[in-house]
Structure 1
Amino acid sequence: MRVLCTYDRVVTTPTERIAVAFGALLLRGNRAHLYDRLTADVDGVDSTTYPVLSGLARTGPTTASRLADLVGLDRTVTTRYASRLEKAGLVARAADADDRRATRLSLTDEGRRAVAALRAGLEAILAEALETSSPEEVEVFARMLERLRDALLPG
């Protein structure tokens, strides 16, 4: 068994080990590293704009304010990144029918192709990371991760 150490204690129980690993994956620097790998071959997207494009792909057309809440960025930052994605031809803006002060963001056809490439890249990275695991282990891990997601996410 691999024993992990944090800055203040030794971690040995399965729950502690999961918490440490999960926390490490969530660190901004580690996410940025993953985003850099994902976006390296996708034109118009980088590690800063990736969360906006990915979030928009998950929500469908929405306002910058709603998207900012989803991806955990300030609205002005989200708007700035959406402008960069729009300039790259990946995002389109239109008046919001529900709120005339708001602008609705949506993916363009090129944006949908970029998202498909990013998702394929993520699957390749995960397949590489899991290549020493058996298909059965990967299936169990997938089910456990889905249950964890369902238990931790709202609604």
Structure 2
Amino acid sequence: MVRKILSLVVLLTLFIFSLQVNAKAIQIEIFHINKGKVIKEEPSTDHIQREVVTILEGITDVYRGFEPIPQKGYMVKIPLENAVEVKNKWLNTSVNEVILIFPEYENPHLMVFGAENSHYFFHFDTSVDEILSELGLRFKGQRKE
């Protein structure tokens, strides 16, 4: 009887632990600008988290376009599991979330959320192909460099 109770306690503990692990999964949201809604959610992976850090390290300039949020395209919101310190000539802050912006017929650019919920827009020279592949995304009209 004690053995059964002990087994039940162990199983219950494992079940509760697995629920907590699943509840903490970081969700990436894919937003369709034209439709005005999130069309897909995917759990983040360590690989995607590392790719985002590489993108942050590859910032090349401030986005100077008139309309940083386009009328047509997609946005991919990626919360970071651990904040990343970004220090370059355009930005000196801790970043906890990024949004990759994919205008319909331009190369993607980046929206960064820093301390105190401030946001900034940047160009970067890092490929996003691995992130898109891992998320099962392919956006039509994307220009290749």
- What TM-score does the superposition give when structure 1 sets the normalisation length? 0.24
Would you tell me which structure has more helix in proportion to its own residues?
1
From the CA coordinates, give the structure whose radius of gyration is larger.
Answer: 2
Would you tell me which structure has more strand in proportion to its own residues?
2
- What TM-score does the superposition give when structure 2 sets the normalisation length? 0.25
